[in-house]
Structure 1
Amino acid sequence: MKLAHLILTHNHPDHLKRLIQRLTYGDDVIFIHVDKKVDITTFHNLISNKNVFFIKNRTSIDWGAFNIVKATLKSFQEILHSGTEYQYINLLSGSDYPLQMPVTIHQFLTDHPGKAFMNYRFIYDDWQEAIPRINEYHLNNYQFPGRYKVQKIMNRLLPTRTMPYGLVPVGRSQWFTIPTECVKYILEYWATHPALRRFTRLTWAPDEFIFQTILYNSEYRHILINNDLRLIDWSEGKASPKTFTLKDKDQLLSSDKLFARKFDSKNCPEILDCLDKKLISVPQVSPV
């Protein structure tokens, strides 16, 4: 089995270098999308690994905006046109880190063939805080003076928005591990449903629900596993998850999740050192 990791990043090349070292395994390939606003030359020392590639068609990314969906889709396209067939595509952020050895990750996916691992909560039922993302107009993808004032006027005067094509909206975490056939379907659906493209541009943080929604409303619903395989701690109640430190060592080391987010290797490299001791303590068997 060949696994393609897609990492979306914008900073901390040193952490990214450690992440690549822990992910490197057999014929697996790592694709890196660096935010277009960032000088990519600071990441060029990572290219010495023959299985690491930079996404060429980069996108400028803003937090909560549509353009992160655009960046992900464009990266998917480059992976599919790379000339190699991968069984799974694993979407990570540049602040993630594996909790298991690559051989364990491979074995898990081999034991669950064809399953798609992503969080999906029903927005109108058990993720109601996300309803305004869909029902209201959001201009966070556009940069012009007074945009929030215009947004407020739009929401006061225009009808409540609804998902096009009668789609049932589901989602939660944007990070997932899914078969390549699901990625192909997402790209095909996106290309052939212009109303969804127009709708998504005016939503907030669509990266957290658009991919799950497309797959849930398709023939692939039966392969979806409501588990993104990531340890993410939202206990602080903030817009972003908790950053793991040494205080979380026992939780991280005992977790059966495959990955965790998020980490700050600049301010707390010690927690990564602890994880590395686990990840390199047992020799890995190369894939056949």
Structure 2
Amino acid sequence: MGKKCFLILLHKKNDALLGTCLENRDTNFYIHVDFKSNFCEISESFKDFSNVFFIENRVDVKWAGFSMIQATLNLIHYALEHDPTNEYFHLISGDDVILDKKLSWNNSDIFIECNESSEHRYRMRFDTPHADTKYQRTLLGKALTQFYKKMDKILPTREKFYFGSQWFSIRRNELQILMKSITETDLNFFRKKLCPDEHFFQYLIAKNKMLGKVADCGNKRFIKFDPNFQRGSSPIFLNSEQLIHAQKQNYWFARKVEQQEMQKFYLNSNEE
């Protein structure tokens, strides 16, 4: 059986991750540190780990922008080339807790959310001036976003676009198919789209006629939204009780989790 590897998008120091890397020496961890973050401070903690690799091609990641896709692609390219025995690829963030230890499967299923969504269709229909910029979350940016939502309702279309969480798990063969299919036209299409990270890999799956490989159970991530937290635009932070519940429900990962809760969960799991 091939190796498991984690593709981690990180923007701050994560001491809870140290124990996970130590306990899983046969697993590769590939980390992209946001260009805005203190790379030296973050990487110094992992200097003695032979299974942790920081990629040099770092990106200034902006919320819900194409930069998120670029950082992910940089991680994937590196992991595919670095170790040909990497077989199971899990894309997570530094705010994720790993709930399961197996994280492997014996078929070609892709664990990702991939659904048609008319509610999010406007994102893919229009290039926007504020996409992947600091203005996306300003009042002006939000007003522009509402404008494009209305334009989508006014202008009819039969185009289908797929939507879902950006976090996924996939085997090497299927990942290579997706990556080899990416063209410059594809990349240019997504550069000025809103929240393209929740559409890009779904688009590639549809493009390669692999919708039948999408697992019925979704992406195996426990993620909870609350309309009272940032108007439902971001997941809430989970507590220990919710993490235990997610683990019992056979989720593989949970997000988002504060460092203190993360460390407490890992400590209790090791004691058991």
The alignment's TM-score, normalised by the length of structure 1, stands at: 0.78
Aligned match of 2:195 in 192, 201, 205? 205
Matches within 5 A, 1:134-283: 134-138=124-128, 139-142=130-133, 152=144, 168-190=160-182, 192-194=183-185, 196-226=186-216, 227-236=218-227, 238-248=232-242, 250-265=244-259, 269-270=260-261, 272-279=263-270, 281=272
Amino acid across the alignment from 2:267: D
Paired position in structure 2 for 1:120: 114
Instruction: Please tell me whether residue 3 in structure 1 is matched to residue 18 in structure 2.
Output: no
Change (3 A) 1:36 1:13: same
Matches within 5 A, 1:101-116: 102=101, 104-106=102-104, 109=105, 112-116=106-110
Which deviations, in whole Å up to 9, do the C-alpha atoms of 1:139-167 show, x marking residues without a partner? Answer: 232469x9x58x959x78xx97xxxxx97
RMSD (Å) for aligned C-alpha atoms: 2.9
Q: What is the identity percentage for the equivalent residue pairs of Structure 1 and Structure 2? A: 22
Which deviations, in whole Å up to 9, do the C-alpha atoms of 1:49-106 show, x marking residues without a partner? Answer: 1111001111110101110101111111111221433212110000001112x2x323
| C-alpha contact (below 8 Å) 1:10/1:38 kept by paired residues | yes
Amino acid across the alignment from 1:135: R
Distance in 1, matches of 2:223 and 2:40, equals: 30
Secondary structure of the structure 1 residue equivalent to 2:70: helix
Amino acid across the alignment from 2:4: L
Paired position in structure 2 for 1:30: 29
| C-alpha contact (below 8 Å) 2:121/2:161 kept by paired residues | no
Paired position in structure 2 for 1:73: 73
| C-alpha contact (below 8 Å) 2:4/2:103 kept by paired residues | no
Q: Aligned pairs, how many?
A: 255
Secondary structure of the structure 2 residue equivalent to 1:277: helix
> Which segments of 5 or more consecutive residues in structure 1 lack a partner in the other structure?
161-165, 282-288
Change (3 A) 1:105 1:25: farther
Distance in 2, matches of 1:231 and 1:71, equals: 23
Change (3 A) 1:189 1:137: same
Secondary structure of the structure 1 residue equivalent to 2:189: helix
* Residue 280 (structure 1) shift: 5.2
| C-alpha contact (below 8 Å) 1:66/1:141 kept by paired residues | yes
Distance in 1, matches of 2:254 and 2:125, equals: 31
Paired position in structure 1 for 2:95: 95
Q: Which region of structure 1 is more displaced relative to structure 2, 40-49 or 60-69? A: 40-49
Amino acid across the alignment from 2:194: W
* Residue 21 (structure 1) shift: 4.1
Distance in 2, matches of 1:211 and 1:247, equals: 32
| C-alpha contact (below 8 Å) 1:232/1:261 kept by paired residues | yes
